[in-house]
Amino acid sequence: MGEKTLFSRIIDGEIPAEKVYEDDDYCAFRDIHPAAPEHVLIVPKKVIPKLTDATAADRDVLGGLLLTANKVASLLGIAETGFRCVINCGKDGGQEVDHLHLHLLGGRLLGWPPG
C-alpha cells in the first residue's frame, strides 16, 4: 500500500483535527475552511480514493456513510432544521483529497444552486 492519505493520518491521530464523532468504520471532523456554521467531513476508514472507485463490494461502506451523516447531524443539533450532504468526485467535482468523504453542512439556510 502507498502513502497514507491526509484523512488516514487524521484518523490515526498523526495530524490534529477537531473530531466530532468516531466509530470503528467512520471518523467525522470539522472542516478547516468551513462553508457553513456546521461543516464536518465524514470519512470512511476504508480508503476508497473517489466515488467512482467504489464497487458493489463497497455497498455497506457507502450506506454507512449516509447513516453516519444522520447520526452526526443529530449530534450537532441540525437534524431537525436540515442539512446538506455533498460528495465531490474528481478534479472537476472539486475533490481535493483522494479519500472518499462526505461534507455535512448546516446551521444556516443553504441556497440553491450550490455553485
Contact (Cβ atoms closer than 8 angstroms) between residue 75 and residue 7: no
Cα 24 to Cα 62: distance, rounded to the nearest angstrom? 15
- From the list 33, 39, 99, 101, the catalytic residue is 101
Q: Is 103 a catalytic residue?
A: no
Which residue blocks in the chain are alpha helix, DSSP H? 6-11, 59-76
Cell numbers describing residue 2? 502507498
Give, as one character, the DSSP assignment of residue 110: P
Cell digits for 107? 446551521
Catalytic residue positions, numbered: 101
